[in-house]
Structure 1
């Protein structure tokens, strides 16, 4: 671009800005157009009872498998094939971790701790 075309372009922009008659204004509506304050309220939380019961069962069964497997491995309970308890310990850990996590969320949501809600627990329909 040449210097002459740039100055013509800038002059054209300046003329457009200075011409106030080209701007069309419209008034804001005086009505609220159907919005209400109730739209912005948080609805009551639905408690996912099935998921909480499942999480509690996972926690209880996982804890029992972990405790029983660890007691057999450490020798507190004598069994003939105690080396086969490692799968029980692994299965107990796999059940304990999600169960404890979701029960903790449900407890904190029940106590209304900020940052926790029953919406964080998946529902099973």
Structure 2
């Protein structure tokens, strides 16, 4: 493999040099934030989390009723409802828990942890 040991480098033009070097507060927008941005409540994400929690709970209850014989249905239907219920319940519970603890002001929980 050939190496480029003899590469000729030249200094950047004065226009291309970044004076701030990307430091916080120096003009780089990646590091610019306001503390109020962390406290914004993502209402749509919270509504989706509550919906997923309710849907998952409903599907889990229906699968339980089919398994115990209180509702008519086949075992395959119960397993399908159980799988869908788990897939809906887990993310709904997780996001709802983060939203609740953020609302209560628990240490380590912020609304910014909820993806919007």
TM-score interval, smaller chain: 0.5 to 0.7
C-alpha separation between the residues in 2 aligned to 1:40 and 1:53? 26
Task: Give the alignment's TM-score, normalised by structure 2.
Answer: 0.66
Contact 1:66/1:88 (<8 A) preserved: yes
Q: Where do 5+ consecutive residues of structure 2 fail to align?
A: 1-24, 27-31
- How many residue pairs match? The answer is 86
RMSD across aligned positions (CA): 2.3
**Which of 74, 81, 89 is the aligned partner of 1:81?**
74
Residues 51-105 of structure 1: per-residue CA shift (max 9 Å, x gap): 000000000000000011111111122x143442211110000000000000000
Q: Which residue of 1 aligns with 2:61?
A: 67
Contact 2:46/2:99 (<8 A) preserved: yes
Structure that is richer in helix per residue: 1
Q: Which has the larger radius of gyration?
A: 1
1:1-125 correspondence runs (5 A) = 42-43=35-36, 45-77=39-71, 79-123=72-116
Q: Where do 5+ consecutive residues of structure 1 fail to align?
A: 1-33
